[in-house]
Amino acid sequence: MTPVFGHGHLRLYLLSLLEESPKHGYELIQALGDRFGGTYIPSAGTIYPRLAKLEEEGLVSKAADGRKTVYSITDAGRAELMSREAELGGIEDEVSDSVRRIADEVRSSVNSAMKSLRADLAAAALDARAEARQSGRVPRNDPGSARVDSRVDSRVNLQQADVLLTNFRHEVRSELRSRVVTGDLASETVELLRSGLEELRVAVAASIRNPKK
Residues 188-204 have pLDDT tens digits of 888 899 899 899 988 98
56 in any annotated domain: yes
- Do 108 and 162 sit in the same domain of this protein? yes
What confidence score (pLDDT) does residue 57 get?
94
User: Which residues, in sequence order, are CB contacts of 62 under 8 Å at separation 6+?
Assistant: 51, 55, 69, 70, 71, 72
- Do 49 and 117 sit in the same domain of this protein? no
Is the per-residue pLDDT at 138 higher than 80?
A: no
Q: Name the percent of the chain lying above pLDDT 70.
A: 61
- Do 133 and 63 sit in the same domain of this protein? no
The 60-65 sheet, strands edge to edge: 23-24, 68-73, 60-65
What confidence score (pLDDT) does residue 65 get?
84
2 in any annotated domain: no
What confidence score (pLDDT) does residue 30 get?
87
**Residue 26 domain boundaries:** 9-83
Q: Does the predicted TM-score (pTM) go above 0.75?
A: no
Is the per-residue pLDDT at 84 higher than 50?
A: yes
Is the per-residue pLDDT at 167 higher than 60?
A: yes
User: Which residues, in sequence order, are CB contacts of 193 under 8 Å at separation 6+?
Assistant: 172
109 versus 79: the higher-pLDDT residue is 79
